[in-house]
Amino acid sequence: MPEPFKNSFNRQIILGMAEHFKKKWPEFDDKGFSDTASKNLDALELKERSEQIMNAMIEYLPSDFTKAGEILLASLSPALDGDIFGITVDDNGIAGWAIMPMTHYVGLRGHNHFDLSMTLFKEFTKRFSSEFGIRFFLLDSTEETLSTLRKWTKDSDKHVRRLVSEGTRPRLPWAMQLPVFIKDPLPVIELLEMLKDDDEEYVRRSVANNLNDIARDHPDVVVGIAEKWMKGASREREKLIRHACRTLIKKGNKRVLRVFGYKPPKIQRVSIDVQTPKVVFGAALQFSASICSNASYDQPLMIDYVIHHQKANGKTSPKVFKWRTKSLAARKSLTLTKKHTIKKITTRVYYPGVHTVEIMVNGVSAGAADFQLLMP
């Protein structure tokens, strides 16, 4: 059984942090810090553990932020040029997950020391990430922080460049939202423009994730960016754009589908054969879809299916599933088969009754058929 993710924070890491803090500041109460940071650790989830460590830092590090910042900088392990995945606190210094509460500490305590805080975030992100901590500054010192991030788009370290795009994501998972950029994403888009052709896929993928966030609130803006960036796009940039538009593609946004060459299809209505008209919960819906071209030319097709789930109030709720991309030859047909298991998941409550499977081709509904879900 895999180790629980929350154990990324454990007593060994806390003891390692305490050891390095004391090396750089002999007056540091390493035992008091370790005991406070480790209290009831097993009962806490990952973010709660990080916050408890951060609160212990506030209690035991010097109240003078300049002094505390110097201790944090001196406690870091040497920066790595390559992949930082899997690194942690060791004899060389602090790195990995232990950086998370340190960025939170700076985010809360460093506002009267902007330059030192930016130096800390820059060094932290080379050893883990500062995407959580820097958001405090984006909220409270927006223009000054954006000015720093513009400079960092040209930094030689890929982790620093990635922080620009990842730290400004309006709806970064696990982190506080950035309402100012949810309302107006233009300042973020200006940064992403500078990074869209970055040499590192690691950075470009972060750019795509940021745009996917923005698309939730401003779909037309992101479609416009996709249309603009696709002109003369390299293979790498096209991959970025496709990843950035993944939610819009899944929703069948017709404008964004056209960006990738998926126009309204010229096909006959899809013939759907449901082999399991009654599905017992825990078993699989099995169906096939036959698509016949009406066009005199080959057509690129993006084929998805939608399950319209029965709700408690008798209405249905659609859920889109990606299926297949195919090129359909002129006047030809193709048949696809699918086995879709319906089982217990944490994100949905299932109800018995009539459900519907619908076929979408290039974002257009092309046919539907019912089946009945039986609960044991």
Rounded mean pLDDT of 346-368? 95
Is there a single domain that holds both residue 249 and residue 300? no
Phi and psi dihedrals of 7, rounded to 5?
Answer: -75, 5
pLDDT over 70 at 189, yes or no: yes
pTM of the model: 0.88
Average pLDDT, the chain: 95
The CATH number of the domain holding residue 289 is 2.60.40.10
pLDDT value at residue 41: 95
291-340 pLDDT, tens digit each? 999 999 999 999 999 999 999 998 999 999 999 999 999 999 999 999 99
Cβ(24)–Cβ(77) below 8 Å: no
Is there a single domain that holds both residue 91 and residue 139? yes
Is there a single domain that holds both residue 311 and residue 240? no
Specify if 318 maps to a domain: yes
Is there a single domain that holds both residue 344 and residue 283? yes
pLDDT over 70 at 203, yes or no: yes
pLDDT band for position 81 (50/70/90)?
low
Cβ(123)–Cβ(73) below 8 Å: yes
Is there a single domain that holds both residue 62 and residue 186? yes
pLDDT value at residue 88: 87
Q: Where does a domain end: 193, 224, 259?
A: 259
Range of the domain at 288: 271-374
Is there a single domain that holds both residue 214 and residue 333? no
pLDDT band for position 31 (50/70/90)?
very high
pLDDT over 70 at 1, yes or no: no
Give how many domains the chain has, as a whole number: 2
CA-CA distance, 275 to 225, in Å (whole number)?
A: 43
Is there a single domain that holds both residue 190 and residue 275? no
pLDDT over 80 at 166, yes or no: yes
In the numeric block, the tokens 């994100």 are attached to 347
Q: Where does a domain end: 259, 291, 306?
A: 259
Is there a single domain that holds both residue 237 and residue 303? no
How many Cβ atoms from other residues are within 10 Å of residue 27's Cβ? Answer: 7
**243-266 burial, b if ≥16 CB within 10 A, otherwise e?**
bbbbbbbebbbeebbbbbebeebe
pLDDT value at residue 177: 96
Specify if 264 maps to a domain: no
| Secondary structure class of 290 (helix, strand, coil) | strand
Is there a single domain that holds both residue 239 and residue 362? no
pLDDT band for position 80 (50/70/90)?
confident
pLDDT value at residue 318: 95
Is there a single domain that holds both residue 141 and residue 275? no
pLDDT value at residue 2: 63
pLDDT band for position 363 (50/70/90)?
very high
Residues sharing a CB contact under 8 Å with residue 173, sequence separation 6 or more, in sequence order: none
Q: Where does a domain end: 213, 236, 259?
A: 259
Rounded mean pLDDT of 71-90? 85
Is there a single domain that holds both residue 83 and residue 227? yes
